Amino acid sequence: MIKLNKMVKFLLVLVTCIVVLSYIYNKFIVVKSISNSDKVIIGIIDGRLSKNYDNVLTNISNRVNSSIKTHGDELIVFANKYYTDLNIYYYDASNVNGVVDTKGIISGLEWMKQKGIRHINISMSSNKFSNKLQNYIENNQDELKVFASYHNLEQTLDYPAMYDNVIASGKKSRIIFKNNDIEYRSNNIVLISKDIKRYSGNSFLSIITMIHDIIS
């Protein structure tokens, strides 16, 4: 009877561990920061930044100067923690109203091309299709490799992620992925670097995808 009780307890502990590990595996992606002697150069097109960064070259002449981080700030912070030796070219594609539009994105892509930046991340979502932007990406695919993220939850019309020749990243759900997209089991990321921090969102998955594409 005593042996049976011990066996039952052991099985309960084993099952509990399996359930917990399965939950963690499906709920989170755990990644470690990459330390490499090779400097990696990436481009990011997004909205306004709140401050300057030592390793970031930007087109922006005026900033928000705010204590509140913008989406662009978050991408830069994550990228710098994920890969320890980055040079980032950043383009503020927002218009006078503070909104990122097609004209701003195309201007950003052209700015990147003129500076010889091949790998560019555009982690924004819009339900408006632009023939002009699609054609620009297609006509410049030999010089520019564009990465994007799908909407954090789901979206049937989601640009620039859905454009041809764009490598998009997202959490597996009801997103309609293209053949060259990268599907992740979760968009809850635990990044282990000098500290341990959690990030949530497909935008960070897109940064991971782009950096891995460069170093692979």
Indicate the pLDDT class of residue 73, thresholds 50, 70 and 90.
very high
Q: Which CATH architecture has domain 31-215?
A: 3-Layer(aba) Sandwich (3.40)
Q: What is the pLDDT of residues 149-205, one digit of tens each?
A: 998 666 667 889 999 999 999 988 778 889 999 999 899 999 998 889 999 999 999
The dihedrals phi and psi of 52, each to the nearest 5 degrees, come to -85, 155
Average pLDDT of the residues of the chain: 87
Alpha helices (H) in the chain, listed in sequence order = 2-27, 71-82, 102-114, 131-139, 202-215
Q: Which of 14-23, 83-92, 139-148 has the lowest mean pLDDT?
A: 14-23
User: What angle separates helix 102-114 from helix 131-139, to the nearest 10 degrees?
Assistant: 10
Q: Give pTM, 2 decimals.
A: 0.87
Indicate the pLDDT class of residue 124, thresholds 50, 70 and 90.
confident
- Does 26 or 205 have the greater pLDDT score? 205
